[in-house]
Amino acid sequence: MSSLYGQQDGTLDATFNNGGIVTTPMGTANAQCTAMAIQADGKILLTGSAHNGNNNDFGIIRYLEDGTLDTDFNMTGKLQIDFNGEEDFPNGIVVRPSDKKIIVGGYTFNGSGFDFAIVQYLEDGTPDPAFGNNGKVTSPLGTTTFCEALALQDDGKIVAAGYSFQSNNEFVVIRYLEDGTPDDTFSDDGFIITPVGNSSAVVRCMLMQPDDKILVAGQALNELTFRWEAAIARYLPNGTLDETFNDGGIVTTSAGNQDVTITAIARDTDGKIILGGFIGTSPSNNNFTLIRYMPDGQLDSVFGDNGIFITPFTTNNNLANALLIQPDHKIIAAGTATINGLEQFAIARYDVNGIPDPSFGNDGKMNTEIGNFASITGLTFDRQGNIVATGSSFNGTIFQFTASRYLNDLETGMNVLPPITKHIAVHPNPVVETFQLNFSLEKDETLTIQLFDLQGRPLVTYLDNVKTELGDHALKYALPATLPVGNYILSLSSSNGVSSIQISH
């Protein structure tokens, strides 16, 4: 963390693989990493396409927290999964907290088109025999169907989203039970196909809200202007469109005579929705783009230019592919930018208003040259709050899976105001069920105590604006019975300051 190492947020963490970067070849040729996840024990999972000599497979790599390959996973740290001897492309990976099973979603070629393809593997990298056909499930819908995003509900059900060609490309969402069968309580048959606009629409990302509503985002082609526009649909837990979202469940946002490409979605603790991606008329003039909506789907008029904030990372080819929101509402966008003729890992951090954060990197930006070409496609916080970025890089011969870790004083980053406690401690830590919170106030405070996940989403409010006297305090609380195993942040806040501590469960 930056306070420990005395370095600014955004600096490569030298303790990660002895330099901050790890590259790993997969398969026999080019490998393209498309998504990542972090397990509760801190291990890092990457997925993407890996060639087997004839065609592409699902590829999975697992690293230990220090960036070395985890040989407990399939004995090598690597795994390739072939569906039927045809082309297979994964786009999402999640880990179910209750049973630690690893789930990957993408699509597979069926001989004439593509089908949704989901695999579920045990923690050690072996197929889950209780899921589909030896760990595999395929779902044909329409002429051809592409799965682009994957998520888990709190009850362990799997939600996959993408697009399917009907008369045009249309949004598709499928929900599966834990054994891989379609959930018939979701839109009666387990899936819903939604036309967006009057022309083609493609899904690129998805997010589960705390109330189990499903946000699916991508872009839709405006048939009048022939420009791509940002598009979001929100579904109720039963699979129907949420009519309270933009008065119909769907919202599209134009950038005038430019094309919008949406690649990532995040949700702030106040319910505001942020899309990340890029806007331009060609790769040479694309720029990092953030679009923010109110919880009801209306553009947030105080953010950027009527809800849209466009910022050039460099002079050309700036593509944001991943997005995070910190507990202090700072926004992190990452992807690739062309610098000195090389495509490089690019990360930018913004304040709550979309203004570059000068405390991060070089005036809010950080770029990392890895080989000749490199691009970030996945982004998350590790157990210490540092930033883990994953993607692909070209070493002059082949593309490889790539991960890097950057220092990020997340706890200090939460302290928009000065700390309000002399000390703060949790016993025991890790917490099984109950814990004692010890802290000391320097003066009387009207105190709020909340539990957040590492994405900054509030989970429990233990105190809500309660007047608390100065001095030492010892309060006993319990974690929710359904809280998944993982890492969380306990925050004490008032109008005068914020203090926080990370706890494990």
pLDDT tens per residue across span 463-490: 988 999 998 999 999 999 888 887 788 9
Containing structural domain, residue 453: 421-504
Q: Mark whether 399 and 285 lie in a shared domain.
A: yes
Bridge partners of residue 12, in order along the sequence: 406
**184 found inside a domain:** no
Question: What average pLDDT does the structure give for the chain?
Answer: 91
Q: Is the pLDDT of residue 175 over 90?
A: yes
pLDDT of amino acid 414: 39
Among 387, 410, 433, identify where a domain stops: 410
Can you give the CATH number for the domain in which 474 is found?
2.60.40.1930
pLDDT of amino acid 413: 38
Q: Mark whether 271 and 403 lie in a shared domain.
A: yes
Q: Name the amino acid, one letter, at 422.
A: K
Measured CA to CA, the distance from residue 406 to residue 447 in angstroms comes to: 32
List, edge to edge, every strand of the sheet that includes 145-152.
145-152, 158-165, 169-176, 191-194
**158 found inside a domain:** no
Q: Model confidence at 290, in pLDDT bands (50, 70, 90)?
A: very high
Bridge partners of residue 279, in order along the sequence: 260, 287
pLDDT of amino acid 246: 95
Q: Mark whether 264 and 379 lie in a shared domain.
A: yes
**362 found inside a domain:** yes
Q: Mark whether 338 and 446 lie in a shared domain.
A: no
**66 found inside a domain:** no
**Pick from 247, 244, 307: which is nearest to 272 by CA?**
307
Scored b (16 or more CB within 10 A) or e, 57-90 reads bbbbbbbbbebebbeebbeebbbbbbbeeebbbb
| Higher-confidence position of 312 and 462 | 462
Q: What would the mean pLDDT of 226-254 be, rounded to a whole number?
A: 96
pTM, 2 dp: 0.82
Is residue 140 within 8 Å of residue 112, measured between CB atoms?
no
Q: Is the pLDDT of residue 292 over 50?
A: yes
Please name the residues in contact with 391: beta carbons below 8 A apart, sequence gap of 6 or more.
33, 321, 336, 345, 374, 375, 376, 377, 378, 402
Handedness of CA 376, 378, 382, 387 (dihedral sign): positive
**335 found inside a domain:** yes
- H helix count then E strand count, the chain: 2, 35
pLDDT of amino acid 294: 97
Please name the residues in contact with 225: beta carbons below 8 A apart, sequence gap of 6 or more.
254, 257
Look at the chain and report how many structural domains it folds into: 2
Q: Is the pLDDT of residue 18 over 90?
A: no
Lowest mean pLDDT among 75-79, 88-92, 262-266, 352-356: 352-356
**187 found inside a domain:** no
Residues 107-118 have pLDDT tens digits of 999 999 999 999
Please name the residues in contact with 224: beta carbons below 8 A apart, sequence gap of 6 or more.
none
**67 found inside a domain:** no
Q: Model confidence at 500, in pLDDT bands (50, 70, 90)?
A: confident
What the block records as the tokens of 434 is: 């109950």
